């Protein structure tokens, strides 16, 4: 029978600074997620590997009771409603309730439905060494078993899904048939964003929804500016001075790279937001989703990208759209441009904490764009 007091004492000796990791001097445990196609048959049991030379033991699978308790406490602390509504135990788990004297604890661990990587060491080991061992293990099983295991540095993805379901209908029997026709390319990127546990892939996929319109809105904007010049009562195509002014208007907007015309992507993003996004509605949606996010966006720059602070409760003028566009675009650049040594560079998993709050705003922006551009 499990010594629950001993388990609680064990938790007391762990370093709980990380949201989804626990460490002590001789062991570490990490929350992980399988991110591939249907799992192979062998993965139904724990994967255990022992390194007798260096004195390490690895176990991928069901979490320890101490780790499960620590994660459950963090889930409840982050969102008590999510914890209360957490999924019911599976029929197999319910059957085990009657088959084991430790059934309540087994049922509790099974009901969390999480996977962990546990590493134990024969000697005292630092946090950084355990982290390096974990990263090596992820590559090792991916290379040898084609088994994509990735760390889950935050719990926000699970909480985010719950909050969205709570805001929306959440039940299939309450849905009407769709009454609008949406642009397929936008829908496909939106679905890709929903289907992944990776905040980086989600963000980029939502960004692609806006990016779909960049060329059109940018060209339209140039056309409007040219139209204003040409129709001005002081313009004459016979005067070379006026024609040079026309050329200057175009050259200021368009650049060339490798003999190709390149649009100003930041300007195109701003124009797309101005065309399709109602900032007041955006702020209301974000506030209903998580009341702490609006303050987070206005408090300062994004840690990994330097994205601008933006107060979505300000008057929705061109300057506000500009600040919002710069925050989004700087995040996008940090995610896409991965050159070593770059100042604004996103490190997968390590920077997920900073990226997580940026995903909801991109989702609500993408949804407004999809709906605004739909036809009846």
274: closest CA among 341, 334, 220, 205?
220
Given this model, what pLDDT does residue 145 score? 84
Q: Are 138 and 112 in contact (CB under 8 A)?
A: no
Cβ neighbors of 63 (< 8 A, separation 6 or more) are 29, 31, 71, 109, 112, 114, 115, 116, 118
pLDDT for the residue 69: 82
* pLDDT of res. 255: 66
What are the per-10-residue average pLDDT scores of the chain (376 residues)? Answer: 59 63 90 73 74 93 86 70 48 46 65 87 92 92 85 72 63 73 94 88 96 90 80 81 78 62 85 96 93 94 94 94 97 83 75 92 96 91
pLDDT of 96 reads: 45
Identify the pLDDT of residue 172: 61
Distances 12 to 38, 70, 185 between C-alpha atoms, Å: 37, 10, 51
pLDDT at residue 93, as a whole number: 44
Task: Indicate the pTM of the whole model.
Answer: 0.76
Alpha-carbon span 356 to 276, nearest angstrom:
24
The answer to whether the beta carbons of residues 166 and 79 sit under 8 Å apart is no
């Amino acid at each position: 029978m499990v010594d629950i007091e001993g388990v609680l004492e064990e938790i007391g000796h762990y370093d709980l600074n990380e949201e989804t990791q626990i460490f002590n001097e001789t062991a570490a445990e990490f929350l992980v997620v399988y991110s591939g196609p249907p799992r192979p048959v062998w993965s139904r049991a724990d994967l255990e590997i022992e390194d007798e030379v260096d004195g390490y033991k690895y176990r991928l699978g069901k979490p320890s009771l101490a780790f499960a308790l620590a994660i459950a406490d963090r889930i409840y602390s982050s969102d008590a409603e999510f914890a209360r509504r957490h999924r019911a135990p599976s029929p197999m788990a319910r059957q085990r309730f009657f088959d084991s004297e430790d059934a309540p604890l087994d049922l509790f661990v099974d009901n969390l439905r999480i996977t962990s990587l546990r590493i134990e060491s024969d000697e005292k080991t630092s946090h950084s060494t355990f982290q390096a061992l974990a990263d090596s293990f992820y590559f090792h099983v991916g290379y040898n078993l084609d088994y994509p295991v990735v760390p889950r540095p935050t719990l926000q993805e699970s909480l985010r899904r719950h909050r969205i379901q709570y805001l929306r209908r959440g039940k299939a029997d309450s849905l009407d048939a769709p009454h609008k026709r949406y642009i397929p390319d936008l829908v496909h990127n939106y679905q890709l964003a929903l289907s992944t546990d990776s905040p980086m892939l989600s963000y980029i996929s939502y960004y692609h929804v806006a990016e779909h319109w960049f060329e059109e809105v940018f060209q339209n904007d140039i056309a409007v500016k040219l139209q204003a010049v040409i129709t001005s009562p002081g313009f004459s195509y016979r005067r070379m001075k006026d024609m040079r002014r026309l050329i200057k208007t175009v050259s200021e907007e368009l650049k060339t790279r490798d003999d190709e015309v390149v649009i100003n992507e930041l300007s195109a993003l701003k124009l797309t937001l101005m065309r399709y996004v109602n900032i007041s509605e955006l702020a209301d949606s974000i506030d209903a989703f998580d009341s702490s996010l609006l303050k987070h966006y206005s408090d300062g720059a994004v840690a990994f990208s330097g994205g601008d602070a933006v107060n979505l409760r300000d008057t929705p003028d061109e300057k506000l759209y500009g600040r919002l566009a710069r925050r989004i675009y700087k995040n996008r650049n940090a995610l896409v441009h991965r050159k070593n040594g770059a100042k604004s560079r996103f490190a997968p998993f390590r920077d997920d904490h900073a990226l997580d709050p940026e995903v909801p705003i991109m989702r609500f922006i993408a949804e407004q764009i999809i709906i605004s551009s739909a036809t009846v």
